Amino acid sequence: MNQGDLFTIVSPQLRRGERAVWVERPAPMARAFSRIALFLFGIPFFGFAVFWTGMAAQSGQVFFPLFGIPFMLVGAGLLLSPIWSYVEARNWLVYAITDQRLLIIRTFPRHKIESWEPADISKLERTAKPDGSGTILFADEVRQGRRGSYTVPRGFYGVPDAKRVEEAILELRNSAADG
């Protein structure tokens, strides 16, 4: 998909008078590698679920092995998460910086737009490879879990020119502070 097609995805999400400064898709492999921890956790999780379900099936009980199926499905999801992230980055995920905010747009499986105003940019952290590509983290999202709250870093993963993206975010944050 070329740059014009990406602007076509972003344009309907813009506010009146807002203009896109930078639009890009994440690098699919970088996005897939960001899920490697889930994949590694999924190996023993899935393996144990299959083993347990197999042993339960040998017990001769009809319904007991069925309890293992949800765990096998969760394990399979963990194993497939890098593949899903690769496909998502290649086809359904768009990052944008406008003159008013940051956007992460997902077009599948449901249309979802995440937006950060300049005041929401709580940090700016760049990790880059020798070729200049990398990740820009710009916020921490606090989520609630069963055992309390935890923090999820939010940002643009696998962007081609990480330094340029960092500068554009910094300019957005500074322009809001000046205005």
Predicted pLDDT at 72 = 97
Write down the pTM of the prediction. Answer: 0.83
Mean pLDDT across 67-78:
96
Per residue in 122-166, pLDDT (tens digit) is: 999 999 999 999 999 999 999 888 889 989 899 999 999 999 999
Q: Is the pLDDT of residue 173 over 80?
A: yes
Per residue in 9-53, pLDDT (tens digit) is: 999 999 999 999 999 999 999 889 989 999 999 999 999 999 999
Considering the domain 3-26+97-178, what is its CATH architecture?
Roll (2.30)
The H-assigned helical ranges of the chain are 3-10, 28-33, 36-58, 69-91, 162-178
Distance separating alpha carbons of residues 104 and 99, to the nearest angstrom: 15
User: Of 85, 93, 100, 86, whose CA–CA distance to 6 is shortest?
Assistant: 93
Average pLDDT over all residues of the chain: 93
Q: Is 38 exposed, middle or buried (0-12, 13-18, 19+ CB in 10 A)?
A: middle
Rounded to a whole number, what is the distance in angstroms from the first to the last CA of the chain? 36
